[in-house]
Chain A
Amino acid sequence: MSGPLYRLSGVFAGYGGDPVLKGMGVLIEPGEFVSIIGPNGSGKSTLLRVMAGDLKVSAGSVLFREIELASIRRRELAASRSVVHQFLEQVPPFTVRDFVWMGRFPHRGRPHHRGSESGDRDRGVVEQTIELTGIGPLRNRRLDELSGGELQLVRIAHALAQNSRVILLDEPVSHLDMKHTLRLMDLLHGLHREGSTVITVLHDVNIASDYSSRVLGIRGGAAAFFDAPERVLRYDVLEALFDAKCVTVDNPITGRPFNYPVPGHVLK
């Protein structure tokens, strides 16, 4: 497959009233690890929802693999990318295994039978995913009994069972402890190294810096910058994005820029 994975141009979208995205344009290549950063209310989640196909745009065009996103059938779209929303609306007490299985829903036309070919393929994907994400020990636990970090890993596993080639995430690590944050980000990075496209909204600029191939900064519903972290995650760029003073050093481990916010120096 050649050409960009996502091509957005002049996108306006919102929830009635003032649009949140105002003339958003971006081009994402397959195999990238893209972090979306920006101040609260700048349109990060809205952009993700537009790319996921959850939200219709009021103007502009969204192409997914050079095809108009809105024209792709729901089931087909569901099979060709996965989305991890910020929260689950409800957490019914399904087992972890059943939940991961649900990710296979768009791949099966009819309720499948034991021993069928597609059933075996589904089983293979589910088992592989459980192994990859390291949630084997949780397999028979109930979702509502998991810790926040465990649940997040299980949700990633569910998404990977759905589609592991293109994965969209909305603040997947915002409420996780250090260990779970690293585990989850390492997992996503591993997928990226194997050729998957990861597009994720992140709150933590330094995590975005350490893991991304490119960082998309959004302000006021439009792209402020979209480039490699070394080039854009500098204090001058970030100060303009977040209206807060910060200091940039190099992370001695990863060699990527590391930004400290300076207490008491909110601009404006």
Chain B
Amino acid sequence: MKGRYLFPWLITAGAVLLVASISLGTAVINPLRIPELLAAPPGASPDATLLAIRLPRIAMSLLIGASLAVSGVIFQAILKNPLADPYLIGVSGGGALGATIAIILSLPYVLVVVCAFAGSSGVVAAVYLMSRRMRFGTASLLLAGIALSFIFSSSVLLLFAFAGPDKVHKAVMWLMGDMSVARYEALPHLGIACALLCSAALAYSRHLDIISFGDAFAANLGVKASSVRALFWIASMLAALSVSLCGMVGFVGLMVPHFMRLLGGPRHRILLPASFCCGAFFLMAADTLGRSVVPPFEIPVGVITGFAGGIFFLAYLLVKREYRP
């Protein structure tokens, strides 16, 4: 049976990566001291302080990674397109424009997040309304999203042309997907939203199985259009939350579902939780790598995931010659 040992492996790998992520960084903490430091009151020692900074960041990367991967699984099923990822319907373009405007106006970080979220959910709503009004099929829906993405990314570039270089740099860092700017007051809210949306997705796992065969097939089995719409919104909100908190972290939502499908098969009851774990651990590892390899500089996590994702797909193609999930 395919994927029988998938979860034990995932959990083990995740635990190892978690310890590594806590230890590694600009300064290395001895892994054996982690329990002791966790028990110590905050600020007791420089290392404890370091831990207090590192842990929320790790939690953030776990949540964002999980959200993006789950969002990717849903989009690939409802759009019947293996190349679909959370950004395809324009979530990222809207988020980027919202954030860029806020950064150029030098608004505080909270408002950058708010603007990004408004931008990304605005685009989702626009795509959704258009597709409902015009009764779009999958291809038209994708095209509408891509068209809006282009319009928004050109708007971002237009703003860059007029903005000061320091603001452009700040905005570019944000766009590349940067965990270091993430503020952690949002963590509990993100955690709750992510948990709710992902459990809702899991409740729809049988619908997702059926939807991945096509619209006529799903309609014949009695899958209601409202279920598909609910799934669309779940996936979009997960993506919008991620984009507005951490910028455009690419490839997680595209690569992780594929990787998990290879290992665990196409059933969403397995695929969703597996992608949730793998996405979380993958983004945590990528962020750890980003802040550890060239201290004191940090590589934006979006750059790392882009490299990892591209190399993964190329290697897979070269080894297998043909893509078959």
Contacts and interface: CB of A to CB of B under 8 A. Distances in A.
A103 B215 CA distance: 15
Contacts of A105: 206, 210, 221-223
B214 interface: yes
A250 interface: no
A79 B222 CA distance: 8
Contacts of B206: 102, 105, 111
B276 to A, nearest CB: 18
A231 interface: no
A102 B265 contact: no
Contact of B222 (A85, A106, A144): A106
Interface stretch (A18-26, A88-96, A171-179, A200-208): A88-96
B214 A88 contact: yes
B265 A93 contact: yes
B224 A74 contact: yes
Contacts of B266: 92-94
Contacts of A79: 222
Interface string B196-225: 000000010110011011111101111110
Contacts of B212: 90, 92
Nearest to B76: A92
Contact of A54 (B205, B210, B219): B219
Contacts of A85: 216-217, 220
B43 interface: no
B170 interface: no
B320 interface: no
Contacts of B209: 94, 98, 102
Mostly, the B contact residues are loop
A74 B215 CA distance: 14
Contact of A98 (B203, B214, B267): B267
Contact of B213 (A54, A78, A89, A111): A89
B188 interface: no
A88 B213 contact: yes
Interface in A78-130: 78-79, 82-83, 85, 88-95, 98, 102-103, 105-106, 111
Interface in B76-114: 80
Interface of A: 52, 54, 74-79, 82-83, 85, 88-95, 98, 102-103, 105-106, 111, 144, 162
The 9 closest A-B pairs by CB, nearest first: A89-B214, A78-B222, A106-B222, A75-B222, A83-B220, A92-B266, A74-B222, A105-B221, A92-B212
29 contacts: A52-B220, A74-B223, A74-B224, A75-B224, A76-B222, A78-B220, A78-B221, A82-B220, A85-B216, A85-B217, A85-B220, A88-B213, A89-B213, A89-B217, A90-B80, A90-B214, A91-B213, A93-B265, A93-B324, A93-B325, A94-B265, A94-B266, A94-B267, A98-B267, A102-B210, A102-B221, A105-B206, A105-B210, A111-B206
Given A83-B220, A90-B213, A102-B209, 19 more contacts: A52-B220, A74-B222, A75-B222, A75-B224, A77-B222, A78-B220, A78-B221, A88-B214, A88-B217, A89-B216, A90-B214, A92-B266, A94-B209, A98-B209, A98-B267, A102-B210, A103-B221, A106-B221, A162-B221
